[in-house]
Amino acid sequence: MTYNDIQYITPKAAADLVIELSQTHKAKPDLTNLVFGTVFSDHMLTIEWTSNGGWQKPHIKPFGNLSFHPACSAMHYAVQLFEGMKAYRDTDDKVRLFRPMLNMNRMAKSAERACLPAFDRAELVECIRRLVQVDREWVPQSDSASLYIRPTFLGTEPSLGVKKPSRALLYVILSPVGSYFSTGAKSVSLWADSKYIRAWRGGTGDCKMGGNYGASIYAQYEAVDYGCQQVLWLYGDDHQITEVGTMNMFLFWNNENGEEELATPPLDGIILPGITRQSILELTRKWGEFKVCERYLTMADLRCALEENRVKEMFGSGTACVVSPVGRILYQGENLHIPCQEGFPQLASRLMKELTDIQVRSHPTGHRHQFNVYSTLVQRNVIPPVCGQ
């Protein structure tokens, strides 16, 4: 029996949601110059938990600052995690969430690893749906912009003891976003060096914890000093390729056996199980046009394949960027140039279009004529206009 089994107390149903609407409304931002994660909507969701009382009623209230005890365990020992998901406005003006239960499943796994209490995943999705419903006008009317949803889960134990928290706070904030990278749809450059390690087996690399990201910032700035935009994270003496910045990594190539293959590192405990990663694997396997494989890749494999002209594309994937092609890798003093037709190669472009169609089109085209794939790949919760509270 796990800690979460012992501490599990059913959260209050979303039907108990308390809504306090803001009396003032902020101006909506100009989407053309929107910097990722800097603008926030009018409301937020908060749900408190205690070991004695369990989950309290969820509250939607005006966006504002939070107050914590100075000994709060999240501040001292990083008892904290978060998720990243999006809401999209489709061509029929309906607002949809993209595969929200996959985010909830990953969040539950991270919570167990952080010794934070279990929660009802479906109820949390419904609370998030209601929050987006309240701030529906903040969902951009654009194919290239969306409403980023940031669920965050903190241990708020008011004690300096290193222990499981007896208090916790789960909250959700919303932020309209455009492109994650300043380069927009252009390819990114990477610095590959084994000097810094993002994650290791037995650690928390497969969980979405803030500490994984905070510890990566120093390496990110060193990458910039070398003229690169992101870090290509390596692992082990053989320099296994793991992740690209904060993204999962894909290599489209002709493998050692001459097979056309889309490859990505396996989920072995150091790779974050990305929602976009899973969606790409499911889509491309359904296409059946080339081999799709979860396998280990090393820098030696990549360098050899480049020398033999076997590399077709390389790209990262994630909620924030969706798909981001790689154009150059700086490795051991050498610039490795990745094929990139006019900044956005063919497969990356196709995947971007397929995923965008699913997210924002009311009647998606292309391979989604197989509606069994469409319905199983994407769980889209339609959010109707607010008709009152």
* pLDDT category of residue 123 using cuts at 50, 70 and 90: very high
* pLDDT category of residue 320 using cuts at 50, 70 and 90: confident
Better-predicted residue by pLDDT, 81 or 11: 81
- H or E element at residue 104: helix 100-113
pLDDT at 210 over 80: yes
Q: How far is CA 335 from CA 189, 229, 316, 332, 360, in A?
A: 10, 14, 18, 8, 37
CA distance 381 to 121: 14
35 lies in the same domain as 121: yes
* pLDDT category of residue 381 using cuts at 50, 70 and 90: low
CB neighbourhood size of 19 (10 A): 16
As a whole number, mean pLDDT of residues 125-142 equals 94
pLDDT at 295 over 50: yes
41 lies in the same domain as 169: yes
Note the pLDDT of residue 368: 35
334 lies in the same domain as 295: yes
115 lies in the same domain as 166: yes
**Last-in-domain residue among 124, 154, 177:** 177
Q: For residue 380, give both structure tokens.
A: 């889209």
> Which CATH number characterizes residue 300's domain?
3.20.10.10
86-90, 302-306, 368-372, 377-381 — which is least confidently predicted?
368-372
CA distance 295 to 279: 17
> Beta strands of 202-259 (E only): which ranges?
230-235, 240-244, 247-254
377 within a domain of the structure (yes/no):
no
Mean pLDDT estimate for the chain: 89
As a whole number, mean pLDDT of residues 31-60 equals 94
Note the pLDDT of residue 34: 85
As a whole number, mean pLDDT of residues 286-293 equals 97
What are the φ and ψ backbone dihedral angles of 307, each rounded to 5 degrees? -65, -30
* pLDDT category of residue 112 using cuts at 50, 70 and 90: very high
Can you give the pTM of this predicted structure?
0.90
257 lies in the same domain as 139: no
CA distance 158 to 234: 38
358 within a domain of the structure (yes/no):
no
89 lies in the same domain as 21: yes
228 lies in the same domain as 95: no
270 within a domain of the structure (yes/no):
yes
% pLDDT > 70, the chain = 87
As a whole number, mean pLDDT of residues 130-154 equals 94
CA distance 132 to 41: 10
Q: For residue 234, give both structure tokens.
A: 């390596």
Note the pLDDT of residue 2: 37
Note the pLDDT of residue 6: 33
Residues with Cβ < 8 Å from 27, sequence gap 6 or more?
A: none
What are the φ and ψ backbone dihedral angles of 272, each rounded to 5 degrees? -75, 130
pLDDT at 364 over 60: no
Range of the domain at 76: 13-177
Note the pLDDT of residue 136: 95
As a whole number, mean pLDDT of residues 13-39 equals 90
94 lies in the same domain as 162: yes
CB–CB of 198/271 below 8 Å? no
* pLDDT category of residue 31 using cuts at 50, 70 and 90: confident
* pLDDT category of residue 183 using cuts at 50, 70 and 90: low
99 within a domain of the structure (yes/no):
yes
165-169, 287-291, 342-346 — which is least confidently predicted?
342-346
364 within a domain of the structure (yes/no):
no
229 lies in the same domain as 249: yes
**Residue 110 corresponds to which amino acid?**
S
| Residue-wise DSSP of 279-323 | HHHHHHHHHTSSEEEE---BHHHHHHHHHTT-EEEEEEEETTTEE
pLDDT at 62 over 90: yes
380 within a domain of the structure (yes/no):
no
* pLDDT category of residue 373 using cuts at 50, 70 and 90: very low
**Last-in-domain residue among 312, 327, 344:** 344
Total number of domains constituting the chain: 2
DSSP class of residue 34? P
Burial letters for 110-129: b for 16+ Cβ neighbours within 10 Å, e otherwise? bbbbbbbbbbbbebbbbbbb
Q: How far is CA 81 from CA 92, 184, 349, in A?
A: 34, 28, 32
385 within a domain of the structure (yes/no):
no
129 lies in the same domain as 45: yes
389 within a domain of the structure (yes/no):
no
208 lies in the same domain as 323: yes
CA distance 359 to 139: 13
193 lies in the same domain as 340: yes
Residues with Cβ < 8 Å from 80, sequence gap 6 or more?
A: 74, 114, 152, 153, 154, 155, 209, 210, 211
Query: Is the alpha carbon torsion for 171, 176, 178, 182 positive or negative?
Result: negative
**Last-in-domain residue among 124, 148, 177:** 177
pLDDT at 385 over 90: no
As a whole number, mean pLDDT of residues 234-258 equals 97
> Which CATH number characterizes residue 80's domain?
3.30.470.10
As a whole number, mean pLDDT of residues 79-95 equals 92
As a whole number, mean pLDDT of residues 208-214 equals 96
51-55, 157-161, 176-180, 196-200 — which is least confidently predicted?
176-180
